[in-house]
Amino acid sequence: MTSVRVPVVEKILSANDSLASLNRSRLDASGVFSINLMASPGAGKTSLILRTIEALAPVLRLGVVEGDTAPVTIDADKVTAVGMPAVQINTGGDCHLDAVMLSTALPQLPLEALDLLIVENVGNLICPAAFRLGTHANVLVASVPEGDDKPYKYPAMYRGIDVLILNKIDLLPYVHFNMDYFRKGVEMLNPGVKTFPLSCQTGEGLPAWIDWVKEKAAA
With a CB cutoff of 8 Å and minimum separation 6, the contacts of 61 are: 113, 114, 115, 116
Question: Under the criterion CB under 8 A, does residue 170 sit at the interface with its own copies?
Answer: yes
What residues from 101 to 160 belong to the interface with its own copies (CB under 8 A)? 122-127, 130, 143, 145-147, 149-150, 152-156
Nearest one of 167, 156, 139 to 35, comparing CA atoms: 139
SS (H, E, C) 154-197: CHHHHHCCCEEEEECHHHHHHCCCCHHHHHHHHHHHCCCCEEEE
88 contributes a contact to its own copies by CB under 8 A: no
Q: Which of 26, 94, 160, 187 binds its own copies (CB under 8 A)?
A: 94
One-letter amino acid of 50: L
Task: Assess 98 for contact with its own copies (CB under 8 A).
Answer: yes
199 in contact with its own copies (CB under 8 A): no
Contacting residues toward its own copies, per CB under 8 A: 1-2, 4-5, 8, 12, 15, 40-42, 68-70, 72, 74, 92-95, 98, 100, 122-127, 130, 143, 145-147, 149-150, 152-156, 168, 170-171, 174-176, 201
